[in-house]
């Protein structure tokens, strides 16, 4: 057994011990695993590398923190609730389209923050009663919200797993928007129709409209309530299209949107809203700090190169099988951790494919870690917002869609060059 393999086993062992046996936070387990790797590799306690690694994703951390502040402000102002109400009011005569649009509403916070939990706990909690009013059973509703959560996490403009994978090979987060949209939008449409279409066809929409709470929407109007979200999207587009003129950066764009939200709808306590948002984001931010240290120590000890070299020697058929199985399973601890530890080597092993599309597909498979016990964050939170006692039945409903996601992602990897030529 080589020294690099021993170091890697030590890191994984400490990580598994802390996460599963001792029930420590993933971020703490990653820190201790990094220290264990450095000690096993003969580097002692390399504080410089640990600190340097902790700042590896500082740009992403700032983006997530400010995005969560914006989403909380948008929700507290009544904008998120009004968005759901306006969608139902406008499209109630077309149940299938209504269901798809409500699914996109659930995805929206994840698209902005890069967190499936943000989607489920904010928009999911708002839309869950509406799904119930449309006649969708609790288990199907929870499964749809959980699926929308991970698809929102992968959809553009913010995709943290891709940022992590790209950071591992110094690939900038540029040109991912269209491939990510092409991957996630068809899956969102499929999920909405798969879980809910047969139920909404049987519902009397007049009763749904009668039960709809539109007080905030009627008081402030859609143009005013949706202005912060529209401004954020507009600034994002200008930031990409004219970087020399509108070089604001994502954190500042979200901060501007959060500031505007205070003046467009219901009044709320700015400091309390921001504090709550940061508290919700802290677990994700801590994981990113831990991931940065983990990758830094893997690089220092040669483990990263060892994994890459051995990944390159795996036959293609076995490589695809390893991607389909190991990425979701490792994502049970953290989809971000799976992206860093396995996503980067898999991407390097697939250098013959289009790197942007391949990285996007790997991030989509890694996102399924949010369905994997014992953490299964997306499924657990979705069951909670719907009001279910446990999440076991929700996970059973997600098996077939998860297999479809894996197959869909592998198709994008296999035909990545052809897809790139079409794009």
Instruction: Look at residue 73 and tell me whether its pLDDT is greater than 90.
Output: yes
Mean pLDDT of 92-105: 90
Task: Quickly state the pLDDT bin for 199 (edges 50, 70, 90).
Answer: confident
pLDDT digits (tens, 9 = 90+) for 79-93: 988 988 898 888 888
Q: Which of 55-59, 97-101, 299-303 has the lowest mean pLDDT?
A: 55-59
- Write down the pLDDT at residue 85: 87
Q: Determine contact, residues 214/89, Cβ cutoff 8 Å.
A: yes
Q: What is the pLDDT of residue 333?
A: 66
Of the candidate ranges 89-93, 140-144, 309-313, the one whose mean pLDDT is the lowest: 309-313
Q: Please report the pLDDT score of residue 16 as a whole number.
A: 83
pLDDT at 417: 93
Report residue 263 as tokens: 């003046």
Residue 21, pLDDT above cutoff 80 = yes
Average pLDDT over residues 144-159: 94
Residue 48 pLDDT grade (very low, low, confident, very high; cuts 50, 70, 90): very high
Token digits of residue 338: 């799976």
Question: What is the longest distance spanned by two Cα atoms in the chain?
Answer: 70
Q: Are 160 and 341 in contact (CB under 8 A)?
A: no
Indicate the average pLDDT of the chain: 88
How far, in Å, CA of 330 to CA of 37, rounded?
18
**3-class DSSP string for the chain:** CCHHHHHHHHHHHHHHHHHHHCCCCHHHHHHHHHHHHHHHCCCCCCHHHHHHHHCCCHHHHHHHHHHHHHHHHHHHCCHHHHHHHHHHHHHCCCHHHHHHHHHHHHHHHHHHHCCHHHHHHHHHHHHHHHHHHCCCCHHHHHHHHHHHHHHHHHCCCCCHHHHHHHHHCCCCCCCCHHHHHHHHHHHHHHHHHHHHHHHHCCCCHHHHHHCCCCHHHHHHCHHHHCHHHHHHHHHHHHHHHCCCCCCCCHHHHHHHHHHHHHHHCCCCCHHHHHHHHHHHHHHHHHHHHHHHHHHHHHHHHCHHHHHHHHHHCCCHHHHHHHHHHHHHHHCCCCHHHHHHHHHHHHHHHCCCCCHHHHHHHHHHHHHHHHHCCCCCHHHHHHHHHHCCCCCHHHHHHCHHHHHHHHHHHHHHHHCHHHHHHHC
* Residue with token string 């698809």: 151
Residue 146: pLDDT over 90? yes
Cis peptide before 374 (omega within 30 of 0): yes
- When pLDDT is averaged across residues 105-131 and rounded to a whole number, the result is 88
Using pLDDT thresholds of 50, 70 and 90, give the confidence band for residue 307: confident
The whole-number average pLDDT for the span 353-380 is: 89
The structural domain count of the chain equals 1
pLDDT at 164: 86
pLDDT of residue 1: 54
Per the CB < 8 A criterion, the answer to whether 327 and 342 are in contact is yes
pLDDT of 318 > 90? The answer is: no
Q: State yes or no: pLDDT of 409 exceeds 60.
A: yes
Q: What is the pLDDT of residue 95?
A: 86
What's residue 211's pLDDT? Answer: 65
Residue 272 lies in domain: 3-422
Say whether pLDDT at 374 is over 70.
no
Region label for 242, one of left (φ > 0), alpha (ψ between -120 and 50) or beta (otherwise)? beta
| CA distances from residue 246 to 67, 125, 155, 238, 239 in whole angstroms, order as listed | 18, 34, 23, 6, 5
CA separation for the pair 62, 252 (Å, rounded)? 9
Please state the pTM of the whole predicted model: 0.83
- Token representation of residue 191: 């999920």
| Across 150-155, average pLDDT | 96
Contact 177, 203 (CB under 8 A): no
Per-residue pLDDT at 334: 73
Rounded average pLDDT over 276-300: 86
How far is 84 from 68, CA to CA, in rounded Å? 19
Per-residue pLDDT tens digits for 202-255: 676 776 777 677 888 999 999 999 999 999 989 988 887 788 788 888 899 999
């Amino acid at each position: 057994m080589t020294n690099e393999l021993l170091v890697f086993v030590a890191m994984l062992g400490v990580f598994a011990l802390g996460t599963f046996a001792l029930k420590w936070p993933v971020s703490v387990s990653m820190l201790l695993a990094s220290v264990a790797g450095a000690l096993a590799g003969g580097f002692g306690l390399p504080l410089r590398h640990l600190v340097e690694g902790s700042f590896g994703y500082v740009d992403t951390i700032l983006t997530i923190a400010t995005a969560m502040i914006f989403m909380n402000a948008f929700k507290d102002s009544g904008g998120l609730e009004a968005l759901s109400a306006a969608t139902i009011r406008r499209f109630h005569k077309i149940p299938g389209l209504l269901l798809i649009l409500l699914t996109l509403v659930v995805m929206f916070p994840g698209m902005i923050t890069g967190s499936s939990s943000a989607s489920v706990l904010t928009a999911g909690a708002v839309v869950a009663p509406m799904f119930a009013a449309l006649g969708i059973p609790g288990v199907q509703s929870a499964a749809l919200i959980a699926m929308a959560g991970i698809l929102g996490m992968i959809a553009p403009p913010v995709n943290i797993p891709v940022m992590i994978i790209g950071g591992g090979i110094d690939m900038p987060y540029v040109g991912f928007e269209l491939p990510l949209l092409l991957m996630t939008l068809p899956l969102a449409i499929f999920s909405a129709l798969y879980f809910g279409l047969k139920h909404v066809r049987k519902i009397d929409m007049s009763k749904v409209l009668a039960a709809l709470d539109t007080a905030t929407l009627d008081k402030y109007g859609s143009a005013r309530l949706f202005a912060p979200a529209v401004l954020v999207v507009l600034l994002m587009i200008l930031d990409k299209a004219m970087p020399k003129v509108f070089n604001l950066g994502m954190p500042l764009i979200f901060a501007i949107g959060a500031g505007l939200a205070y003046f467009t709808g219901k009044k709320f306590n700015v400091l309390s809203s921001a504090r709550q948002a940061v508290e919700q984001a802290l677990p994700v931010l801590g994981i990113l700090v831990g991931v940065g240290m983990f990758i830094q120590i893997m690089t220092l000890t040669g483990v990263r190169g060892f994994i890459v070299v051995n990944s390159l020697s795996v036959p293609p058929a076995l490589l695809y099988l390893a991607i389909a199985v190991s990425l979701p399973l490792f994502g049970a601890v953290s989809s971000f951790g799976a992206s860093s530890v396995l996503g980067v080597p898999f991407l390097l092993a697939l250098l013959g494919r289009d790197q942007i599309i391949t990285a996007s597909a790997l991030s989509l498979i890694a996102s399924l870690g949010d369905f994997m016990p014992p953490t299964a964050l997306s499924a657990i939170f979705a069951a909670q917002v719907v009001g279910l006692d446990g999440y076991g039945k929700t996970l059973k409903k997600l098996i077939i869609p998860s297999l479809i996601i894996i197959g869909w992602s592998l198709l994008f990897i296999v035909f990545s060059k052809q897809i790139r030529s079409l794009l």
